[in-house]
Amino acid sequence: MRNPLAPFLAVLSLVTAAGSEPRGFVPGDHYKLRSVGDVALAPDGAWLAYTVSNRDVPGKPYSQIHVRNLATGKTVRLGGEKEPSSNAAWSADGKWLAWSGRLDGKSGLIVSKPDGSEAKWLASLEWTNHPLPDAGEKMSWSPDTKRIAFISSTPGPESEAASGDPAVITRYLYKPQFDEGLTRFNDNRRTHIFIADIASGAVRQLTSGQYYEHSIDWSPAGDEILFVSNREPEQDLFFNYDIFAVNPATGEIRRLTATESAEYRPRWSPDGKRILFQATRRGLTDLETTMEDTHVWVMDRDGANRREIGAAIDNRQGEPLWSPDGSAAWFTVQERGNVRLYRLPVAGGAPEAVAGGCGAVGAFSLAKGGLLAYAYSGPADLSQLYLRSGAEPARKLTELNAEALAGRSIAPVESLTFVSNDNRWEVEAFLTRPLGMTAASRHPLMVVIHGGPHGQQGPAFNLKNQIYAARGWATLMVNYRGSTGYGQKFADGVFGDQNGNEAQDVLYALSAALRRNPWIDRGRLGIEGGSYGGQLTAWIVTQTHIFKSAIPSAPIINLVSYNYMTYYNMYEQMTWG
């Protein structure tokens, strides 16, 4: 089978050969590299808002919104020099932009002109550290641009007791989500829908109660706001999102789905007659590491005539967006280590791959006139911003890392496949070769295991692997059974079999790499991984002596303490059956 990375490898070999000594990456480069995150075109296609992720300060990366005038090419940044901003949302007429950031010493919801002028602070924004995986939009304009709905949080019924002395914990999910990282306990705040009046600045709370509402979209007619919520009687024990609609005038709520599967990120069609959304085909085995692939569905505005339109693609499908004319759905698909953007006619027809080849498409946005904007990371750089008009080739609009990448050599990445130990699967791995190789040189190798286990690794730029390569190390990323991007049955392959055949997939990948690449030094092999990859690392080194070092990061080592301290309580059912 032809290697899809061959063109990239050929160009890279020429670039490396042209220089005397390859100059690779070092750990300090982490603070220099920037990437494009969210992307939002104004509905009329006149402006393009996008976030840039910065890593130039201690702590977590922070994002900032930039807005580009597509006619002049002029770009402005919203907010102060080091101040974070995010969640850009355009009004229907494209004349206003809502975003979260800081203005005149106050953080929260802000509206402004696209160039940042006439900025007005409307409300504070409070989120929660409660696990709400795959939550969607937090802001949505009314179609007349006079109001904006947004998500914020209020204290829940457990908050007072849980914050007392002594703290009284009554919830099963008493731990915060994994990426919060600042506190030890659930803050018990509930996310609800609020509405701000743009002219007066008045804010009122639309929903309330013990449940969480999020992922909102205001209807074109202005009469309802879609949202997602888990309304199970024991919501801490049973995770099951459903789609609801609330009347912004009366607060009346109607339920649109009631299924065993989970629904995510609903979107009104441009005419307001249908709803596009993500959903699984069955109930979830776990809320944090979801085995079930999401697919794209459509239903009538009353919840009737639900049908899956993405059934032809047996892979995990991302958040869908309507085309401006309502004829097609656009969404990303995970495919064999890559993420590609697809267009699918809603009335029926074959899916069409629109963007993304060897790498990963991230956020994307559509506007009138056939405009498509998207973030894309290839093998040689983090995500950059691209714009395409109609059938014309896409143009790269950002070169955020031009200075940091200048003179750098990029280590090549190549795919290898092999047959699994039980002859059930073709398994894929990605080998990053070290820099400075010669015909006689031998090099150590680090096996890198992804977490999840329901995730994937691929050829998109990976700084850690490039740092290894610069020091003469090869790295091997293995998409073992349980990984996404290879179909639902492959994702199911790890069910009830933790540290079983998926561990054999990792070892078989290493054996295949060693046999096919004699330059790998068998006496200098290491293994590392994070989360599920961390526990798998810790397990594998008890089964073989081939590795001289192991780096288990955030691993599960003690299943007893884990069971009582985790925020995702269905993990053991998925891994042990």
CA distance 405 to 408: 5
Question: What pLDDT, on a 0 to 100 scale, did the predictor assign at position 388?
Answer: 97
| CA-wise closest residue to 248 among 208, 205, 206 | 206
CB 263 within 8 A of CB 275: no
- Which amino acid appears at position 447 of this protein? V
Tokens of 317: 């499908």
Which residue has tokens 């526990």?
A: 535
| CA-wise closest residue to 465 among 445, 482, 492 | 445
**473-497 pLDDT, tens per residue?**
999 999 999 999 999 999 999 988 8
End-to-end CA distance of the chain: 36
| CA-wise closest residue to 16 among 548, 407, 446, 447 | 407
Is residue 46 pLDDT above 70, yes or no? yes
| CA-wise closest residue to 327 among 305, 349, 294, 306 | 349
CB 248 within 8 A of CB 195: yes
Is residue 577 pLDDT above 70, yes or no? no
Question: What pLDDT, on a 0 to 100 scale, did the predictor assign at position 409?
Answer: 96
Q: How far is CA 468 from CA 216, 358, 432, 447, 563, in A?
A: 43, 21, 9, 11, 35
**Averaged pLDDT for residues 366-375:** 96
Is residue 212 pLDDT above 80, yes or no? yes
Which has more confidence, 282 or 270? 270
Which has more confidence, 29 or 59? 29
**Averaged pLDDT for residues 498-513:** 95
Chain mean pLDDT for the chain: 92
Is residue 55 pLDDT above 90, yes or no? yes
Q: How far is CA 198 from CA 93, 110, 149, 225, in A?
A: 14, 10, 11, 17
Q: Is 533 exposed, middle or buried (0-12, 13-18, 19+ CB in 10 A)?
A: buried
**152-170 pLDDT, tens per residue?**
999 999 999 988 899 999 9
CB 214 within 8 A of CB 134: no
**Averaged pLDDT for residues 535-558:** 93
CA distance 159 to 98: 30
Is residue 574 pLDDT above 70, yes or no? no
Which has more confidence, 220 or 5? 220
Could you give the angle at the alpha carbon of 570 between the alpha carbons of 565 and 573, nearest 5°? 120
Q: Is 237 exposed, middle or buried (0-12, 13-18, 19+ CB in 10 A)?
A: exposed
* pLDDT band at 568; cut points 50, 70, 90: low
Please state whether beta strands 520-530 and 443-449 pair in parallel, antiparallel, or not at all (unpaired): parallel
Name residues whose C-beta falls within 8 Å of residue 487's C-beta, 6 or more positions apart in sequence: 314, 315
**304-349 pLDDT, tens per residue?**
999 999 999 999 999 999 999 999 999 999 999 999 999 999 998 9
Question: What pLDDT, on a 0 to 100 scale, did the predictor assign at position 18?
Answer: 38
Query: Which of 22-36, 44-58, 404-418, 559-573 shows the lowest mean pLDDT across its residues?
Result: 559-573
